[in-house]
Amino acid sequence: MSERQPKKERSDAARNRRAILDATDALLSASGSEHVSIDEIAAAAGVGKGTIFHRFGSRAELMRELVRERALTLRDAVTDGEPPLGPGAPAPERLLAYFDAMFRLIVDNVELMIAYDNSTSEAQEDEINVFWARHIAALLAEARPDVDAPVLGRLLLGTLNPDVVLQHIRAGQTDRLAQALRHLVASVVGEPPTATSRRTT
């Protein structure tokens, strides 16, 4: 007997899912994380409110799916992309590249990140965050075998706070924060904090 294949998502369901995600993204960018309701998302996506809850279960899961899409793109670059973000570069260079890339991801999606943080329990441990923690700890252990890599890695990861990023964006200080973060990571791994190759404002 042949193994049963996973059920393929219907085309209309796939369109609705994409419309909901795109509408959420657009509304968050336009109105901010505190001013977007499920009713507004449903209207913008052209679906019923019940469709959103049927597809995602909750506001938190909707935000999680949007964050997950972006995080998985970065994870693929970390695991299979070109160095220094991907394999093949020394650990200090990879750490600097990772924090540069993660910072850009948060800057580009800051309202989404805040909405996700606000709708997700602190007790939840997302698998992608577990991946980041392990990735950072592994590179730190290679670059600085004299430190407690898992703990120091979590401390560094904690500096990427969306609320802090948003404050600096609104103050016109995105580049200032990016350079401060780069100096921090560089000081830990002993690398010169060269300027980032891409502006973040």
pLDDT of residue 20: 95
Same-domain check for residues 46 and 84: no
Residue 179 lies in a domain: yes
Question: How far apart, in Å, do the first and last CA atoms of the chain sit?
Answer: 58
Residue 199 lies in a domain: no
pLDDT of residue 9: 57
Residue 111 lies in a domain: yes
Same-domain check for residues 33 and 63: no
**Band (115; pLDDT cuts 50, 70, 90):** confident
Q: How many domains does the chain have?
A: 2
Please give the average per-residue pLDDT across 167-193, as a whole number. 92
- Integer CA distances (angstroms), 4 to 1, 7, 13, 175, in order: 9, 9, 21, 52
Same-domain check for residues 39 and 86: no
Inform me whether the pLDDT recorded for 195 exceeds 70.
no
CA distance 55 to 65: 11
CATH number, domain containing residue 52: 1.10.10.60
SS3 state of residue 186: helix
Query: Which range marks the domain in which residue 102 is found?
Result: 58-189
Same-domain check for residues 152 and 175: yes
| Prediction pTM value | 0.79
Inform me whether the pLDDT recorded for 77 exceeds 80.
yes
Please write the tens of the pLDDT for every residue from 151-165. 999 999 999 999 999
Same-domain check for residues 23 and 120: no
Q: What percent of the chain has pLDDT over 70?
A: 88
